[in-house]
Amino acid sequence: SVVALGHLLMDIQLYLADKPDVGEAALVGELRYGGGGSASNFAVAARRLGLASAIITSVGFDGFGRVLLEELMREGVDISRVKIVIGQQTGTSFLLVYPSGDVKVFEYVGASEAVEPKDLSDAAFKGFDHLHITMYRLDTAVHAARLAKKLGLSVSVDPGRIWSARGLDYLRELLAEADYLLLNESEFRALLRGDVGEAFGLGIDMVIVKRGPQGATAYLRSGEIFEAWGFKVEAVDTTGAGDAFDAAFLAALLEGRGVDYALRFANAAGALKTTRKGARSSPTREEVEKFLAT
169, 243, 246, 260: the active-site residue: 243
- 180 close to 156: Cβ distance less than 8 angstroms: yes
Q: Does 235 bind ligand ADP (CB under 6 A)?
A: yes
Which region among 9-17, 126-134, 164-172, 213-221 touches ligand ADP (by CB under 6 A)? 213-221
Give the phi and the psi of residue 228 in degrees, each rounded to 5: -135, 130
Any idea what the Cα angle at residue 208 is, between residues 285 and 234, rounded to 5°? 55
Give 84 or 233: the residue with its C-beta nearer to ligand ADP. 233
- Residues linked to residue 28 through DSSP beta bridges, in sequence order: 16
What's the min distance (Å) between Cβ of 176 and ligand ADP? 23
Q: Does 279 bind ligand ADP (CB under 6 A)?
A: no
- Residues linked to residue 10 through DSSP beta bridges, in sequence order: 35, 92
Task: Please confirm, yes or no, whether 243 is among the known catalytic residues.
Answer: yes
Residue at 273: amino acid letter: K
Identify the residue among 98, 108, 170, 231 touching ligand ADP (CB under 6 A): 231
Distance between CA atoms of residues 112 and 136, nearest Å: 8
Give 61 or 231: the residue with its C-beta nearer to ligand ADP. 231
The sign of the dihedral angle between the CA atoms of 146, 148, 151, 155 is negative
What's the min distance (Å) between Cβ of 229 and ligand ADP? 9
Can you tell me whether residue 2 is helix, strand or coil? strand
Give 58 or 238: the residue with its C-beta nearer to ligand ADP. 238
- List residues binding ligand ADP (CB under 6 A): 184, 210-213, 215-216, 230-231, 233, 235, 238, 241-242, 245, 267, 270-271, 274
